Amino acid sequence: MKIQKKRSISLVLLLGASVALADDAGVCRRAKDKAAGVKTAVFTSHASIDTSAGYVKGLNRRLCIFNNGTNEGAVDLQTLGSKRQSIAATYMLKGLDLDALGLPPPGVTPEPWYCGKLSGSSISQVANGGFVDKSGGALGMCAFGDGSMVGTWELRYISLDPAYLSMRKAVKSEPLSLSLPYLGSGR
C-alpha cells in the first residue's frame, strides 16, 4: 500500500511539472500574439559565475525571450506569467521615468548600474558572471528582493521601444501600489 502511494505522488509531481512547462510556453506565446513582428521562445538559463576554481553553474530559471528582429530581451517566466504582484512586473507595467533615471557615468557598465539604481541586484555587480543564453553569451538579468527578474536592458526598452510593449501586455499581475525608485506612470 505504501508503494502505491509513492507511485501516485510521483505521477502527480510529473503531471504537475508537464503542466507548468506547457503554461510557460503559453505565457510566451500570448506575448507573441499581442505584438506583430515579435518572436518569442522559452528556454532554461542558468547563472554562470567565474571563480578561481573555474565556472560554477548556479541558479536555473526559465525565461521568455522576445525578439523584434533588432533587439532581444529576456523575462523570467515566474515574473511574466504570475498573477502575484512583483517588483519586476511593476517596472514592466509602468515603465521607467527615464528623465529622472538618467544615464550611467562614462566608463560605468550600464546593465548593473541601471539594476542598482532600481534597487535590484545583478550577478555582475558581485561576481564575474551572469545568466547565459543558448549560445553561452551573457544575459543581463536584474533580480529584485522579491525574487522577480527581468533583463536589465528590457527595463529601459519597455519605456522606449513600442516593439517591446508586447512584454508589458503579457504580464498577468497588477502593479504594486507602492512607490519604487524611478517608476514611470504607464500601463
Q: 62-107, pLDDT tens digit by residue?
A: 888 777 777 677 888 888 888 899 999 999 888 889 899 999 999 9
* Sole residue written with cell 512584454: 167
The pLDDT score that the predictor gives to residue 86 is 94
Highest mean pLDDT out of 26-35, 96-105, 135-144, 149-158: 96-105
Report pLDDT for 12: 36
How many helical (H) and strand (E) elements, i.e. helices and strands, does the chain have?
Answer: 8, 7
Output the pTM of the full model: 0.75
Lowest mean pLDDT among 4-13, 138-147, 161-170: 4-13
Please list, in sequence order, all residues whose beta carbon lies within 8 angstroms of the beta carbon of residue 86, skipping any fewer than 6 positions away. 79, 144, 146, 147, 148, 173, 176
At residue 136 the predicted structure's pLDDT band, cuts being 50, 70 and 90, is low
pLDDT digits (tens, 9 = 90+) for 6-34: 443 333 333 333 334 446 677 777 766 66
Strands (E), 86-151: 128-132, 138-139, 141-143, 149-151
